[in-house]
A and B are shown apart, each in its own frame.
Chain A
Amino acid sequence: MRPWRLARRPVVWVGGLFVLLTLTMDRLGPLFHWLFPRLDRPVYSRAGFPELALSHAALAGGASLVAAVAGIGAAVFATRPAGRGFAPALETAASIAQTFPPVAVLALAVPALGYGAAPTLLALVLYGLMPVIAATLAGLRAVPAGAIEAAEGSGFSPLARLWQVELPLAAPLILTGLRTSTIIGIGTATIGSTVGALTLGSPILDGLAGENPAFVLQGTVLVALLAITVDLAFAELARRLAV
């Protein structure tokens, strides 16, 4: 796509706004002072917003990547002849993982992994697996039986069939799973701040604890913009995949 056409896409606008706000939030003191005149400290300052955003994105992104690789891998295995018996157990495990509140996972993980990023990463990965597994299973099962039979009859090796026929045909559905998983991860990463991970949830939690609505607003707006940007980016990807 040409640059000037790219500039018209909403993802660029929302993403640009996110980056701009992240970089300039600490200079918006007068604005927040005007909005919340009773507050002494109208802008969160215990960590810089660029640092919070980077750490937040790294946590959510890293967890999504792990969930994607593990989830797609497990679903592919569960649809091969060798792993077919494993499919029901996998689906059950994935839906059970989804029923745990992330806060509970954090609370349980802290004694084992300590405070900080590690328990957050674990909770995010567990939480992100389910949509990826469900979507990949659905995508692979929706590949037309005729295409599979034709591939087999034409003499594809099992690996070539997976790579050239099944995964490309399942890709649109797999992508929706990755999209859901990543968006959930971005939202859920905010609660990582309860166990000491540095995320955009930190101003939100501090604001709630210290009755500072300005902090809450700053964190919330940035998390929301990040989530919308990533969602729009996935929409772009899906659009190109469909062509």
Chain B
Amino acid sequence: MIELEHLSRRFGATSAVDDLSLTIPRGDICALIGPSGAGKSTALRLINRLIEPDGGRVLIGGEDAARLPVVALRRRLGYVIQSVGLFPHWTVARNIATVPRLLGWERRRIARRVEELLALVGLEPAHGGRYPHQLSGGQQQRVGVARALAAEPEVLLMDEPFGAVDPLTRRSLQDALKDIQARTGTTIVLVTHDIDEALRLATTLAFLTGGRLVQAATPHAMLAAPASPEIAAFLGGPRLGLRLLQTATAGARTDFSRTAAGEPLDADTPLDEVVARMVAAGVTALPVRDRAGRAGVITLADVVAR
């Protein structure tokens, strides 16, 4: 669990982060969103003390971060950045082993952990012996995530982690991250300016503007009731309703007492994709099947019902 208590940080005359209080429960994925210059990255860097606060404090698992030795603190927090920042003179395996080596793990434990992590982020064991420049951008970012997770950090801090890769790769990295988080239960604090990424990954959205927290809520709650016109505009303005569709899946709106012919949709399909398929097929109802094998039908009326 991370608690930010009345955090403030000024740069000269401007206030980058202003009286920010936010509690992020264990296992949560919290996305910090907001316009450029809202103080999202500064807030993230206040957590691992790459920037020191002028006021307020950060509690990590109840411990005051300011009282921990800064180097020890950072080894407990994974950090992933947009530029990845892999060490170009080290192999992938050596990069992943960065924090375990700093922590002085024994050699065999490190080797085992590197092998695990390569598999976890979806890379081949052979990738371990390559150098960063021999990998694609998406693969490099996977290595960046593996390096951040290496010493089983309590919290993963990510600063626009997938901002520099193409949309398709970004999507697969997001899926991989979601999968990893589900398996490890790591708390994640994510800075992103990509609202779709935030909706896809986060369990909590925290909207910042001018260094202040305006609203913190689940994606569905924020989309259903944005606290300010600025948030409503940021979430899509007139198209906000389409984003709302991303926050629910077909299964929740399906009538399982009926069936229909055709190839069934997966019940986990988000509603925006259901609408897209209806448009593509020119129909207003589609068959659905859930993981248990139950068959049902979803109609356009079910989708738009609130």
Contact = CB atoms under 8 A, between A and B. Distances in A.
Contacts of B85: 144, 146-151
A153 B89 contact: no
Contacts of B84: 146, 150
Contacts of A145: 83
Contacts of B99: 154-155
B75 interface: yes
Nearest to A172: B89
Given A154-B75, A155-B99, A157-B71, A147 B86 contact: yes
A152 interface: yes
Contacts of A165: 87
B50 A147 contact: no
Interface residues of A, number: 18
Given A144-B88, A168-B89, A169-B89, A153 B83 contact: no
A160 B102 contact: yes
A1 B157 CA distance: 45
Nearest to B79: A153
A156 interface: yes
B79 A154 contact: yes
A69 B288 CA distance: 72
In terms of DSSP, what is the predominant structure of the interface of chain B?
A: mixed
Contacts of A168: 89
A2 to B, nearest CB: 24
A168 B83 CA distance: 20
B50 A153 contact: yes
A155 B73 contact: yes
B74 interface: yes
Given A146-B81, A150-B81, A156 B86 contact: no
Given A153-B48, A154-B79, A160-B102, A147 B74 contact: no
B88 A169 contact: yes
B75 A155 contact: yes
Given A151-B87, A153-B74, 10 more contacts: A144-B85, A147-B87, A148-B85, A149-B81, A149-B85, A150-B84, A150-B87, A153-B81, A155-B71, A156-B102
